[in-house]
């Protein structure tokens, strides 16, 4: 079994039962969510042995997060419980002011995860590990987190562990293009597998997608794969070694909550890749996973198993065949 380690902040998500403006919401569902954690849970559901590096507060929210990770089978040995700082939370506003789009209100300043430091990164964490996953959110949380993430990357390079990075830009954390380059550049340079999205590329390089990928390639000197998520328009995998692009269209579904789709995509693509699937098949499964993720509220609840993915694809392809007749 392949072994993967992830690192990042997991929070409590408060998701309203109804769509519309936050000021008129009265009932909320409580979910466990957080980008890197979503990816790791997705991989665990797809048969990958996973561990996660994070910190939570000594509070009921922290207890809920640890319990959820354990229930999914994720190794929580490297989850730190911080008695001085709280677990981060955030609130979701769905389908307002733009139908189908989700807005997020974060309350994560001085959260336990933002105090992760180099002291929390031990080389032993990475023994017998095949892959390390990190996103641009973690180094943007604080200088401490950035140094800790860089230490983790250094260990992985020494141990020849494949480094996977998703740019995953949060404008509320990085603010400007210049700051985003400053914070993310060393991680983009180190990544062997690099995930990004059209929004991130536009923020960094402008609206021309091909030019943006070309500019990204100049920075991503170590990348073997660059995967671009395009939402409703599908995804692209650029195989650097063969200098080829592989594109795969998306699966149209009714959107309930768009959060977590990119994380589900990442976790599924990586799990398929670790199984030795072709990149086209990796994209096919990843696009299906992303489509399934937006169909329900919550980030981890819709994350599929292989059986779920195969059933989704079977039903979708049968409906496609009927339309073509």
DSSP, res 75: B
What is the pairing mode between strands 89-94 and 79-82? unpaired
The SS3 call for residue 54 is: strand
The SS3 call for residue 34 is: coil
- Residue among 120, 166, 200, 263 flagged as catalytic: 263
Structure tokens at 156: 């992985």
Q: Which run of H or E residues covers position 4?
A: strand 3-7
Structure tokens at 100: 């189908």
* 239 tagged catalytic: no
Give the CA count within 13 Å in the CB-facing half-sphere of 210. Answer: 2
Structure tokens at 186: 């060393």
For residue 307, which phi and psi values (nearest 5 degrees)?
-60, -45
The full length of the chain comes to: 325
User: What's the farthest any 2 CA atoms get from each other in the chain?
Assistant: 63
Q: Which residues have a catalytic role annotated?
A: 263
């Amino acid at each position: 079994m392949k072994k993967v380690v992830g690192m990042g902040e997991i929070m409590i998500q408060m998701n309203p039962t109804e769509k519309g403006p936050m000021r008129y919401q009265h009932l909320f569902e409580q979910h466990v969510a957080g980008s890197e954690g979503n990816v790791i849970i997705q991989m665990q559901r797809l048969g990958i042995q996973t561990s996660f590096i994070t910190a939570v507060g000594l509070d009921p929210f922290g207890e809920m997060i640890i319990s959820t990770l354990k229930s999914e089978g994720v190794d929580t040995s490297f989850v730190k419980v911080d008695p001085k700082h709280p677990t981060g939370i955030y609130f979701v506003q769905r389908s307002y002011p733009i139908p189908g789009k989700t807005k997020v209100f974060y309350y994560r300043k001085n959260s336990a995860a933002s105090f992760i430091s180099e002291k929390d990164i031990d080389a032993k964490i990475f023994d017998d590990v095949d892959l390390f996953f990190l996103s641009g959110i973690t180094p943007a949380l604080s200088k401490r987190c950035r140094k800790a993430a860089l230490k983790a990357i250094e260990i992985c390079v020494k141990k020849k562990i494949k480094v996977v990075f998703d740019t995953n830009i949060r404008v509320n954390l990085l603010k400007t293009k210049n700051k985003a380059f400053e914070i993310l550049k060393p991680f983009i340079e180190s990544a062997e597998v690099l995930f990004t999205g059209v929004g991130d590329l536009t923020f960094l390089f402008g609206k021309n997608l091909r030019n943006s990928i070309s500019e990204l390639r100049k920075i991503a000197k170590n990348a073997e794969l660059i995967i671009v998520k395009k939402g409703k328009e599908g995804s692209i995998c650029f195989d650097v070694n063969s200098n080829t692009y592989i594109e795969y269209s998306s699966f149209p579904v009714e959107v309930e909550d768009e959060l977590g789709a990119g994380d589900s995509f990442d976790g599924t693509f990586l799990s398929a890749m670790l199984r030795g699937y072709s990149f086209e098949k990796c994209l096919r499964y990843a696009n299906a996973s992303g489509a399934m993720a937006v169909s329900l509220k919550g980030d981890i609840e819709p994350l599929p198993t292989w059986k779920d993915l195969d059933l989704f694809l079977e039903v979708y392809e049968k409906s496609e065949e009927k339309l073509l007749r």
